[in-house]
Amino acid sequence: MRSLLLLPAVLLCVAGPARAADRPFLLVPDAGGEGCATATPITVLPFADSDDTTGHASDVSLLPVGCSTYQIVDGPDLVYSFTVTAGNSVAFTVTPTNATYDPAIYVLGTCSDATTCVVGADACVRSGAASQPPGCVDGTADEDLPAQTYAVGTHAVFVDSFYAAGASCSGQGGVQCGAGPYTLTVTGSLPVHLERFEVE
């Protein structure tokens, strides 16, 4: 008589990045990449990085009309990349961590092509430097890209500045300049996706 041996099935699912609500911030200090070839991948949300654009190169100097607050981005920049699938929703905030840096932030659909700019922000100034534009209420000169859905694929996010490094920023009360330290925070969902499915 034959006996039937039943072995338990082992289900292995390997998922992609988790939703922001499922985990604490992943802090990666000094993670910004020098350029597109070394762009730092953001693979888990929420994500946070503290870095400094001082001494870095300016890879992008002009954005297409209508993508951001200003076309000019002459400051030194640092670059991150993120890959999204269907159902994504991603938000970015860059906050200067000294009293002089005036950052800009923007997302490119193709890292090496500024004409593929998707969205950008460069409107807020520090309290006391000038009147705040609408939506800039906290006086920290941070720039926000509210949560939105991005086309499926890999995108690049740049931390930059309107001002060139060492430029006199007299247009904003002489208190802000084109290079300095910042914190980048990224929240939302990339989202989770199934990468491998195995039954053993």
What is the CATH number for 127? 2.60.120.380
For residue 165, being part of any structural domain is answered with yes
pLDDT in tens, 28-49: 455 678 999 999 999 999 999 9
Q: Is the dihedral of CA 59, 155, 65, 149 positive or negative?
A: negative
The count of structural domains within the chain is 1
For residue 170, being part of any structural domain is answered with yes
For residue 20, being part of any structural domain is answered with no
* Cα dist from 93 to 14, 46, 104, 124, 182, whole Å: 29, 12, 10, 12, 10
Residue 131 has pLDDT above 70, yes or no: no
For residue 23, being part of any structural domain is answered with no
* Cα dist from 51 to 78, 96, 103, 179, whole Å: 9, 10, 12, 11
Of the listed ranges 90-94, 132-136, 168-172, the one predicted with least confidence: 168-172
Domain housing 67: 28-199
Average pLDDT over residues 158-169: 87
For residue 5, being part of any structural domain is answered with no
pLDDT in tens, 60-97: 999 999 999 999 999 999 999 999 999 999 999 999 99
For residue 100, being part of any structural domain is answered with yes
For residue 2, being part of any structural domain is answered with no
For residue 159, being part of any structural domain is answered with yes
For 177, the 3-state DSSP assignment is: strand
Give the pLDDT band of residue 173 (cuts 50, 70, 90).
low
